[in-house]
Structure 1
Amino acid sequence: MKPYWILVVLLALWSCDDDTTNRNPFLQEIGFRFDINLNLPLYSPLTNTGTAIFIDNTAVGTRGVFVVNTGFDQYRAFEASCPNHEPNSCSTMTLSGQVATCSCEEYQYSLFTGQMLNRPDDGRRYYDMLEYRAAASGNTIIISN
């Protein structure tokens, strides 16, 4: 009976999938925490559903963070550096409504989903925006990684 158990264990080990996460090679995932006080005039636009802001702070992400109010006290936060190339002089994206645009290639990303809106059909791998944790607590939004 023991040889069967050994065979079962060996088959189970061989059948395990080495499914590694597909990390973005262009952006580092650095650790940080940043508190957004919605009572401050700079961040008060986030009290309105659908409004997005850019936080240009060296202590937040690689090139800053976009934060959007998605409704029902839910927020999403994304890295402001374009996810499809290494950070450089043109990689900090610009904000227009709920769309972030990379000035290097004019790639556009939705701040509601983080997905690339104008993905080229050239067979290459393209990455969506790097998302950070965003948690609301009273009049404060905590952005962290």
Structure 2
Amino acid sequence: MKHFLIPFIILLLLSCSSDRTVRNPYLQEIGFQFELNLNLPSYSPLTNVGNVVPVLSQGVGNRGVFVINTGFDQFRVFEASCPNHAPNDCSTMDFEGQVATCSCEDYEYSLFTGQQLNRPDDGNRYYDMLEYHARANGNSVIISN
């Protein structure tokens, strides 16, 4: 019995992880699911790599989402509310090309990666964009959290 217990304890200790995800304190992670039909004119730009479509429907993310086609039937979806302060009147970001901008502080984010492009070097903690799940299914993209 002792010989079976020792490998089990070692396996248990090795499976523990100290990797902790840092949650964004400004944005709630709400549950939702939304399907984009790529045959519809408002979502058809997503059939081309690099194109971004905002989805600002009620109940999709906190303030809507940005969906980008990153190639090879892969899509990324990011929250449209600026990740570096609580949602307010100016926190819904605008985009031009593949860059989203928060008009509150003029923070810029890559819509390919979600990373902040102009992170201040002031020692404070800054967050990248909150990403949601995306799954291609035929002529549809299903986004969810």
TM-score, structure 1 normalization: 0.88
Partner of 2:58 in structure 1? 58
User: Any residues of structure 2 matched to 1:1-145 within 5 Å, and which?
Assistant: 19-145=19-145
- The one-letter amino acid of 1:21's match is T
Aligned-pair distance for 1:99?
Answer: 0.4
Q: Structure 2 CA distance, aligned partners of 1:67 and 1:42?
A: 12
Q: Structure 1 CA distance, aligned partners of 2:89 and 2:74?
A: 32
- The one-letter amino acid of 1:56's match is L
Aligned-pair distance for 1:18?
Answer: 5.2
Once the two structures are superposed, what CA deviation does each residue of 1:38-68 show, in whole Å capped at 9, x if it has no partner? 0000100000110001111112000000000
Q: Structure 2 CA distance, aligned partners of 1:47 and 1:18?
A: 40
Q: Which runs of 4+ in 1 moved over 6 A?
A: none
- The one-letter amino acid of 2:116's match is M
- Larger mean Cα displacement after TM superposition, 19-28 or 132-141: 19-28
Aligned-pair distance for 1:90?
Answer: 0.2
Q: Structure 1 CA distance, aligned partners of 2:120 and 2:47?
A: 35
Once the two structures are superposed, what CA deviation does each residue of 1:17-50 show, in whole Å capped at 9, x if it has no partner? 6543210000010000000000000100000110
Count of residue pairs brought into register by the alignment: 137
- The one-letter amino acid of 1:58's match is Q
Once the two structures are superposed, what CA deviation does each residue of 1:91-117 show, in whole Å capped at 9, x if it has no partner? 000010100000000000000000000
TM-score, structure 2 normalization: 0.88
Q: Structure 1 CA distance, aligned partners of 2:19 and 2:78?
A: 25
- The one-letter amino acid of 1:103's match is S
- The one-letter amino acid of 1:59's match is G
Name stretches of at least 5 consecutive residues in structure 1 with no aligned partner. none
